[in-house]
Chain A
Amino acid sequence: MSNASLEAIAAKSGQPFPGAPNNWQRFFTFSTDHKVIGIQYIVTAFVFFLIGGLLAMVMRGELITPEADLVDRTVYNALFTMHGTIMLFMWTFPVLNGLANYLVPLMIGARDMAFPRLNAAAFWLVPIFGTLLMVSFFIPGGPSQSGWWAYPPVSLQNPTGNLINGQVLWLLAVALSGVSSIMGAVNFVTTIFRMRAPGMGWFRMPAFCWTVLSAQIIQLVGLPALTAGAVMLLLDLTAGTSFFDPAKGGDPVLYQHFFWFYSHPAVYVIILPVFGFFSEIFPVYARKPLFGYKFVVVSSLIITILSAVVWVHHMYASGTPSWMRMLFMFSTMLISVPTGVKVFAWVATVWGGKLRLDTPMLFALGGLVCFLFAGITGVMLGAVPFDIHVNNTYFVVGHFHYVIYGATVMGVYAAIYHWFPKMTGRMYYEGLGKLHFALTFIGVNLNFFPMHPLGLMGMPRRVASYDPEFAYWNVIASLGGFLLGVSTLPFILNMISSWVLGKQAPANPWNAIGLEWLIPSPPPVENFEEIPIVVSGPYGYGSHEPLVANNPAGELISEHS
């Protein structure tokens, strides 16, 4: 289509790595194949998901009784700090980047990302800063204990007095994570702008690619603020500057602005691709086109724009002036409108369809219900007077975990099951998948629903001990937390055994529409033998129009739908 794609293709053909799609060693090389990098991201992130989950289970063990009796308070504080940091920077962002890496070039008919080497470099930073974070557990003084927000002055307090301390390593890791994400964002935005196949106009692009574009634009605009804030905090901590230290005339609230200017939009960086999964998965398993495609994809961009002006809703209690509280209350509530458009569109997509309740569909439906609940509590939190009561309580923790586990992790699971046959060339075991779904859905609700009544009753977040009246709901939440730990076992078993022993997957096991389903499973190194020429929209279920004018798989498979 464009010169850029031809250059990328030329660059790729000179690759030295062993290219066969069945050679497992390629996952341990500096491969520039977006499919290899995608799976590297996903598997690495999942390992950190298990580590972050274990930390959470120790926390839930501590919280099963009111007293701080299982671990020392410093250990508990390190646990919730590292749990949050790992889950966001080491699991959620990387796994979504991995899925986007794998899927976007396939969905837009490209042979790779725009900058394959940059892509690989961005990935290899992940294990580097991940190691940095893990190392902090083993240095004197332990890891950062200031929460994943690292608010000063607590984050500047360094009781060990050492120059190398948990907080310094934390800040370095977060800054590196920011660099990695910016590298990824440049690549995604360029790829989507420049490398779409002939005929794939903006409004023929799958909704997932729209959400990735919207999310990565946020990364480009917002991340520099967080990275700058992290560097300033690092200077305060190590070089004696006083940007944020009130004892030396700094302003601790300024840091909160830097932090939330990025970190609230970051939630949209996370949830937008998950919206993309929902938009891709519901049509396939309901056998109907995505309802109101244009409204759905444009609402992603509107969310991107609005997300830039909502950050102060994290700071209603932080000494913000009243006009700011009111302004940000309106902007925050406004963002529920484009989000609502999507939710209603998915319901209308499912409604009247011919539903097939395979594992991806179950996870997508479960994720949608959780997201709906989280969206409603989110609007509640936007209302200043109510937020002042529940701000920094378990109500917020519950809301956030419905977004991040209920919607995001379930959406990621839906995506992994849905594209597993494409990625590996094998089918997963449906029974284990359904068991995994049941355990996850029950676990999410047992673990995170009780946090809402706890917050309403006034239990602050980040506490290692609490008053006895909170014990009832905490016990239920802890049981749910342990169940979520167990729920990963059938998933791990399923993924490993299916990849090794599973039934061979055809090119298009779900009878789905999309460029990635026109080529073999797993796709060859160059994806498309012939660059597809797109002649219709992405969700032509029921209308039997051809998607492409040629056969992108060349002679590899002769029949396609």
Chain B
Amino acid sequence: MTTPTNPTKPRSLSVRTVALLIALAIADAAISFWVGRQAYLWMPPQASAEALLVDDLFGFLTTIGSFIFIGVTTALLVSVLFQRADKYDTSDGPPIEGNLLVEILWTTIPLGLVIWIATYSYQIYDQMAILGPMEHMNHVPSLSIMPPAEAATLPAVPEKTPIEVHVRQWAWEFYYPDQNITSTELHLPVNERARLELISEDVLHGFYIPAFRIKQDVIPGSAIDFGFTPIREGRYRLRDSDYSGTYFAANQGTVVVESAEAYQQWLTDAAAQPLTVADNRAFREFSKAVDRPISMGWKTVVPAPPPRVNYASPEDSSYE
């Protein structure tokens, strides 16, 4: 297209240049839009109402990000390919030191863009209405950043006792106070707001269900109210997301989302079960390591014994 040594005055934009730039911008936008649609496929299944919102936000962020990335790298690539100095050309390029208009534009346009992104993220957050720790919520009215409307946007939670989520080094245990059931599997009815109370018995842990796109650190010394709405039946992974020591990676759990009837049935069945010792990967691995004559690692915090529960999660289960 152009000769390699053609750094002409950039100020005089011809109609052809402007048309070319617009065409390139449209092509960039089209590709970015397509990439933004693909972004949904990179995520786990959308198993909660929150997941739908987060994925919309991620698609939006990916679209904008791709537009910028493609635009900038294309410009660099064109420079690298077509604007190289000839082998023995030691002369300088044009002494362009700047362009105030361009500089103001590339300060203000990104400023507007990030305000847009932040506002959109804020709206999504508002709709998700994840409840943080209750004691901190008292601070809300003093700064008008979270409007009182937030409380109104919450789906009406029927007054039900929260399911207690106990986490320790290294096991998850769920307690249903109304039925007095303990379980190593979290069962939840579909399309109903789940209400949990997160309790850590030792160190920081993280309550993370990727298919639900929700995560909350579990902080020893305070019980945290937490809520979300599962919308898709199936078995999902619960992962410990905040590093909790030696067997951190093994500290996983299972979440089962089922129909209201199946859920009631499960509660009834579980209540009739006697307490049994559940399988626990951390404890199992630790016991095996202790039996070994030579220690391959360093001294570790001893894992808590496996939980004794009404309902123990079956060994080999497949996940969504």
Contacts and interface: CB of A to CB of B under 8 A. Distances in A.
A348 to B, nearest CB: 7
A502 B178 CA distance: 79
Contacts of B16: none
A487 to B, nearest CB: 21
Contacts of A383: 57, 61, 117-118, 121, 124
Contacts of A325: 125
A318 interface: yes
A72 B297 contact: yes
Contacts of B214: 388-389
B243 interface: yes
B269 interface: no
B76 A368 contact: yes
Interface stretch (A47-55, A125-133, A369-377, A415-423): A369-377
Nearest to B119: A330
Name the residue in A159, A291, A352, A365 with the highest tally of chain B Cβ atoms < 10 Å from its Cβ.
A352
Interface string B131-160: 011001101100101100010000000000
A326 B301 contact: no
A380 interface: yes
A460 to B, nearest CB: 5
Interface in B92-150: 92-99, 102-103, 106-107, 110-111, 114-115, 117-118, 121-122, 124-125, 128, 130, 132-133, 136-137, 139-140, 143, 145-146, 150
A354 B114 contact: no
A186 interface: no
A145 interface: yes
A389 B300 CA distance: 30
Contacts of B85: 287, 354-356
B249 A464 contact: yes
Contacts of A329: 118, 121-122
Name the residue in B92, B140, B296 with the highest tally of chain A Cβ atoms < 10 Å from its Cβ.
B92
A415 to B, nearest CB: 19
A467 B130 CA distance: 27
A385 B10 contact: no
Contacts of A73: 246-247, 249-250, 285, 297, 300
A385 B76 contact: no
Contacts of B76: 347, 350, 365, 368-369
A291 B98 contact: yes
Given A354-B85, A369-B76, A373-B69, A337 B224 contact: no
A44 interface: no
B245 interface: yes
Interface stretch (B204-212, B257-265, B270-278, B305-313): B204-212
Name the residue in A246, A292, A458 with the highest tally of chain B Cβ atoms < 10 Å from its Cβ.
A458
A330 B121 CA distance: 10
Nearest to B6: A352
Contacts of B179: none
Nearest to A147: B243
Given A154-B245, A295-B103, A385 B128 contact: yes
A511 B90 CA distance: 9
Contact of A287 (B93, B137, B302): B93
A325 B132 CA distance: 10
Given A319-B222, A388-B214, A460-B240, A326 B69 contact: no
A202 interface: no
Given A68-B249, A154-B204, A347-B75, A318 B136 contact: no
A72 B289 contact: yes
A380 B294 CA distance: 47
B244 interface: yes
B58 interface: yes
Contacts of B24: none
Contact of A355 (B80, B137, B240): B80
Q: Which 5 A-B pairs have the closest CB atoms?
A: A458-B210, A72-B297, A542-B95, A246-B221, A463-B249
29 contacts: A157-B301, A159-B301, A247-B220, A287-B93, A288-B92, A295-B107, A318-B217, A319-B132, A319-B217, A321-B133, A333-B114, A337-B110, A341-B107, A344-B106, A348-B99, A348-B102, A351-B79, A372-B69, A376-B69, A383-B117, A383-B121, A392-B215, A392-B241, A453-B42, A467-B252, A467-B319, A539-B97, A541-B95, A542-B95
Given A294-B98, A319-B136, A337-B111, 18 more contacts: A72-B295, A73-B250, A145-B246, A247-B220, A287-B91, A321-B132, A323-B145, A325-B125, A327-B145, A337-B107, A340-B106, A344-B72, A354-B7, A372-B73, A385-B50, A458-B237, A539-B97, A543-B95
Interface of B: 5, 7, 10, 42-44, 50, 53-54, 57-58, 61-62, 65, 68-69, 72-73, 75-76, 79-80, 83-85, 89-99, 102-103, 106-107, 110-111, 114-115, 117-118, 121-122, 124-125, 128, 130, 132-133, 136-137, 139-140, 143, 145-146, 150, 202-204, 206, 208, 210-211, 213-217, 219-222, 224, 237, 239-250, 252, 285, 289, 295-302, 319
